[in-house]
Structures are given as C-alpha cells and as structure tokens.
C-alpha cells in the first residue's frame, strides 16, 4: 500500500535526515516509527504527504509514485491520508466543528453529508458538547482529539500521526492511543511516529526503528530498543 524505496533526504553535508530507507506498509497495519529526536521519523511522514521532497528514492502510495505527482494533484493525495501532528495544527479561527468539516469541504462533500459525518466523528472522539468551541477554548488533549476527528472524518485509507501525544499528559496520551487503535480496528492503516517507550511496548504491534536516518530494526510485533 505504501512503499518507501531507497529514500534519502540530505539537507546539507552536516545534516542527513534519511539514508537509503526502504520499507513497506500493508493495508490495515498499525506501524510505529520509533527513534530519538532527529532520527528522521517526522521527515519520513512529511515526505509521504509531500510536504517535503526527498533527495533521492521513490515513494509509492497505492502504486502511484508520489514524487511524480504534479502539484495540482497533491490535494487528492492528501485527502486519502489523514495527518495528525504534535502541535495539532488546528485552524485557530474555526470552531471544532468547522475544523473537522473543513477536511470534507475541501473535497466538495455535500452539506448534509458533512453535518452527519462531523457530528458522528466528534461524538466518537467524545467532543460533541464542545463542537462550537474554538481551539483556544480547548485543552491540549481535546485539541488533539479534534485533530484526529479531522484526520479520520473523510475516511482516509491511512492516518499518519507524528508524535501526537508529545504535548499531552499520560491520561490524554492513552486516550489518543486508544482512539488510534479503534480507528485501526475499523480498517484504517495507522502509522504512528513516537519516542514514547511505554506506548510502543504496550502496543505489541509492528515497530520500525530509525537510527541516524537508517532503518535499524523492523519487527512485528516489536519493542522499543535503541542502541
């Protein structure tokens, strides 16, 4: 479904983010990308949603080479991938409802569809009573749940989550992880980048470990082991 093939990302001779990374993610998998800060986890996810371009290599999404896509086709790629970020990246001038609805509006969905799905998804993440609040009126955990709702509302085939619990306390952290597991059970592929050892060891799913920009281990089920 997703294939990274000999991916390298070199910013300059002192800063090599990824070196010859190759691995594949299959449909319905829950894959954790682990590694220290700067190991290249975020870079890899940014490459998948074409936020950045690799120096060399190929990235396939549903057999389509992402790097060969013209700019005007990128929105269509991104609508098939739900992205969740450490800093939430909500639109500050839109309410929780509008933030989630935005992901469906860009795809030209009808108002009725949007109304149904957004309410349902906000209910699923437990924020139905806060749907008219602006991000500044929500806690960190609530913001991240809105972000997850936005990432899943248009039923993407993949959700990529880049350190989604990095800014959260332990209770909120587990709420978010449970949500991601539930989404995965419903059939969506999840790629989770994190450096939280406890989460990885508790998940007992596939783990791809990155060290200095290369794949050090790829085990299923895997544990958090860094040399």
Partner 1 sequence: MFITLNRITKSGFINFWRNGWLSTATVLIMTITLAAWTSIFLLNVVLTSVLDMLAEKVDVSVYFNLDTKESNILSLKSKLEGLNEVASVEYVSAEQALEIFKKSHAGDEVLIKSVQELTDNPLEASLNILAKDSSNYGVIADFIDQSAEKNTISKINYTENKVVIDRLNNIIRILRQSGAVAGLALAFIAFLVAFNTVRLAIYSSREEITVMKLVGASNWFVRGPFIVEGILHGLIGALFSLAIVVSIVAFLGPKLLNFLPEINMVNYIGDNFWFLLLFQALGGIILGVFSSWVAVRKYLNV
Among the candidate windows 24-32, 97-105, 115-123, 179-187, which touches partner 1 by CB under 8 A?
Answer: 97-105
Contact with partner 1 (CB under 8 A): which of 13, 14, 68, 108?
A: 108
Site string for partner 1, 126-155 (x = CB under 8 A): ------------------------x---x-
Residue 69 in the binding site for partner 1 (CB under 8 A)? no
Least distance in angstroms from the C-beta of 41 to partner 1: 17
Size of interface with partner 1, in residues (CB under 8 A):
24
Contact 7, 67 (CB under 8 A): no
Residue 41 in the binding site for partner 1 (CB under 8 A)? no
Contact with partner 1 (CB under 8 A): which of 24, 105, 204, 219?
A: 105
Among the candidate windows 5-13, 23-31, 75-83, 175-183, which touches partner 1 by CB under 8 A?
Answer: 75-83
Residue 115 in the binding site for partner 1 (CB under 8 A)? no
Residue 113 in the binding site for partner 1 (CB under 8 A)? no
Least distance in angstroms from the C-beta of 58 to partner 1: 21
Q: How many residues does the chain have?
A: 227
Nearest to 20 by CA among 66, 47, 56: 56
Q: Which residues bind partner 1 (CB under 8 A)?
A: 49, 51, 72, 74-76, 78-79, 83, 89-93, 102-103, 105-108, 110-111, 150, 154
């Amino acid at each position: 479904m997703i294939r990274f093939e000999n991916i390298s990302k070199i910013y300059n001779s002192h800063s090599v983010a990824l070196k010859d990374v190759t691995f594949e993610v299959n449909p319905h998998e829950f894959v954790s990308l682990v590694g220290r800060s700067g190991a290249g986890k975020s870079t890899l996810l940014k490459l998948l949603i074409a936020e950045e371009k690799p120096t060399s290599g190929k990235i396939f999404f549903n057999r389509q080479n992402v790097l060969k896509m013209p700019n005007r086709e990128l929105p269509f790629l991104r609508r098939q991938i739900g992205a969740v970020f450490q800093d939430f990246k909500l639109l500050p001038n839109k309410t929780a409802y509008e933030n989630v609805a935005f992901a469906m509006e860009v795809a030209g969905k009808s108002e009725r569809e949007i109304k149904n799905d957004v309410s349902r998804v906000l209910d699923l993440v437990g924020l139905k009573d806060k749907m008219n609040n602006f991000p500044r009126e929500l806690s960190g955990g609530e913001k991240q749940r809105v972000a997850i709702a936005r990432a899943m509302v248009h039923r993407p085939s993949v959700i990529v989550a880049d350190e989604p619990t990095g800014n959260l306390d332990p209770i909120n952290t587990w709420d978010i992880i449970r949500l991601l597991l539930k989404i995965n059970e419903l059939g969506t592929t999840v790629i989770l980048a994190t450096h939280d050892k406890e989460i990885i060891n508790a998940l007992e799913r596939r783990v791809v470990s990155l060290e200095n920009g290369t794949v050090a281990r790829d085990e299923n089920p895997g544990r958090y082991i860094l040399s």
